[in-house]
Amino acid sequence: MKDTLFKIEPFEIKEVGVVKELKRGIARIEGLPSCIYGQLIEFGDVTGRKGLVVDFNEKEVMAFILGDEKDIKLGSTVTSRNEVFSIPVGENFLGRVINAIGEPIDDRNPHIENNGFCPVFRRSPGVLDRVPISEQFHTGTKILDSVIPIGRGQRELIIGDRQTGKTTIALDAIINQKDKNVFCVYCWIGGAHSSLMKIIRALEETGALDYTVVVAASASSSAGEQYLAPYVASAVGEYFMYSGRDSFVVFDDLTKHAWIYRELSLLLERSPGREAYPGDIFYLHSQLMERAGRLNAEKGSGSMTFFPIVETLQGDITGYIQSNLVSMTDGQIYISGSLFHEGFKPAIDLGLSVSRIGSKVQSEALREVSDTLRLDYAQYKELLRLMRVKTKLSTEIAEKLRRGEALSRILGQDTHQPVSELAIIILLYAFKRKILEILSPEGLGIFCGQIMGYLEEANPQVLKNLASQKVLSVETKQELDRTFVEFFRAKKVI
């Protein structure tokens, strides 16, 4: 008897279910009585095909099919894996494109060595695990870093009509993180594959792909993968955050994510609410947004910054999903279609854009030169509106118009050309000294494009002092004034 027991090989007990119905990416399964929400399952007849439990009752289980459902047939066996959905993570994923299951989908090595696994639906950090945001997240966009400062760990919504430059602002922020020890995650949800390839090429050409993980669930991916993509991107970002580093995640875009969740909820026969969205649509995005933040020293002092993108229709920011996201983020960047068509890029509307973190994350020098910019720009826009009904100008109004026009030219910026914090301080200091409004448009363009190079050659010490101290001391201001005069004489722009 004892010999017989020793000969019995160890075995594993698994729950097995059977597929009873398939419906556009959702499988209705009979069996699996011990399943839990968010559990991973495997379809036994198809090697490697997985599913995610999203609903169940006493008799059956509903699961999202992760991947193509063509190979799954009625009567296929399903086994539970007794684990919540987790994805492999690690530094080796940088520079790679992965799908919503964590598998590489680019044309490079199909096997990526990981440093561990992270749960996709991890709970957000508690209040006691966080510290106030105190360090600025530099986007490289002049109008953002000066007027709408964003902190590391903040959630800043990018909102605007389609084809107005929302993705460009997010990509410029990724490109600007080069050599800043910030690890980026770009999440593509429900868009065209051709558009995704253009974005990947832009990241490759600028060298930004080396510190970026792309999580892609394009329109051709299954509905379940599109639903999971932002949570997978958050899990990748959390790996860096919980290891004491700074991460940055872009969700492009959550409008399509809400659409796909509405579609899946209707297929699951959940009760529709406003605009046919299910009742938990607010929770869907709020639990995602809560995962961003800055951790305390005990948790490693890491941070995760979110740039969710949401699309509007004809500039309407009062839509259901749009207003939901505005209420659950720490500010919004509103992209104006009218400004975009006027040729002002980035087309950020300062009247509707705000950062609730504010100037407390800025350096003292940047705060000093940007404190009145919003007011100056608002006055300039108001004067332009008055100009439509009034033709005669006083000297004071003409001076304000010249000053506002100079500010507009300073804040304008070309695509994928991020500007350093030092350059922003130099340009805005010159604007504050009221020496730029007397320049012609050509002269102002020469000043903005060449002053940093001239300072590096003629007076590099003032740049070193400014970079180390981040303060505009009296000596620094005097040196800058002297260098500006020398620049104007050398370039003959006045």
Distances in Å between the Cα of 187 and the Cα atoms of 88, 226, 252, 259 are 16, 10, 6, 16
Does the annotation count 123 as an active-site position? no
Tell me which amino acid residue 407 is.
L
- Both tokens of 251, joined, read 């969700």
| Closest C-alpha to 434, from 472, 484, 363 | 484
Residue reference for tokens 């910019």: 373
> Which of 24, 108, 356, 489 is an active site residue?
356
Dist. CA 464–CA 462, nearest whole Å: 5
Dist. CA 473–CA 76, nearest whole Å: 74
Stretch (H or E) spanning 79: strand 77-84
Q: Which long-range contacts (CB under 8 A, 24 or more apart) does 439-442 make?
A: 439/406, 439/493, 439/494, 440/493, 441/409, 442/493
Residue reference for tokens 């609410």: 273
Dist. CA 413–CA 409, nearest whole Å: 8
Dist. CA 247–CA 241, nearest whole Å: 6
Q: Are 120 and 102 in contact (CB under 8 A)?
A: no
Burial label for 409, CB within 10 Å (0-12, 13-18, 19+), is: middle
Q: Which residues are catalytic?
A: 356
